[in-house]
């Protein structure tokens, strides 16, 4: 291998390290997003459950805010999933130019996320939470309408 090829491999490796770090930051932002929306939804339900005000009077607003937050949360998680999928595809392609293809090898061992007993992608699980909160807010409004409060 000549010096020019060694230099190119070094540049590829440096770009690879930077790109893997960027992918990790996306994962961190995704976790922060989950914490943010979980906190807001929990706070709304806590206030509704503990504050003594006319819930029926504000139920539509509370429900709409909760449903909109839940939908937004779900959509943002879906966007992060797509972004991560793209980033890891790029990482796999860069690894083809490196001596070891660790992420690709790991993904293969995990059955590419298609075999639940090996690995079930977290994005499948984490999107259940905003859906559940949305359902809770819909049920809250239905109960309010039929006179449960």
The answer to whether the predicted template modeling score (pTM) of the entire model surpasses 0.75 is yes
Distances (CA, A) of 128 to 16, 62, 134: 32, 21, 10
Q: Quote the radius of gyration of the chain (alpha carbons, Å).
A: 22
Return the axis-axis angle of helices 3-50 and 55-95, rounded to nearest 10°: 170
Maximum average pLDDT range among 30-34, 46-50, 52-56: 30-34
> What residues does each domain of the chain span?
3-146
Q: From its phi and psi, is residue 111 left (phi > 0), alpha (psi between -120 and 50) or beta?
A: left
Among 4-8, 18-22, 54-58, 131-135, which stretch is predicted with the lowest mean pLDDT? 54-58
3-state secondary structure of 47: helix
């Amino acid at each position: 291998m000549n010096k020019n090829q060694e230099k190119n491999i070094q540049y590829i490796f440096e770009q690879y390290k930077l790109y893997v770090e960027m992918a990790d930051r996306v994962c961190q932002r995704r976790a922060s997003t989950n914490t943010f929306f979980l906190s807001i939804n929990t706070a709304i339900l806590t206030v509704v459950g503990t504050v003594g005000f006319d819930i029926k009077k504000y139920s539509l607003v509370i429900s709409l805010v909760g449903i909109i937050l839940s939908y937004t949360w779900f959509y943002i998680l879906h966007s992060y999933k797509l972004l991560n999928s793209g980033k890891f595809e790029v990482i796999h392609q860069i690894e083809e130019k490196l001596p070891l293809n660790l992420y690709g090898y790991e993904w293969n061992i995990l059955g590419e996320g298609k075999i639940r007993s090996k690995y079930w992608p977290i994005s499948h699980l984490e999107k259940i939470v905003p859906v559940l909160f949305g359902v809770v807010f819909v049920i809250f409004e239905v109960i309010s309408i039929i006179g449960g409060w």
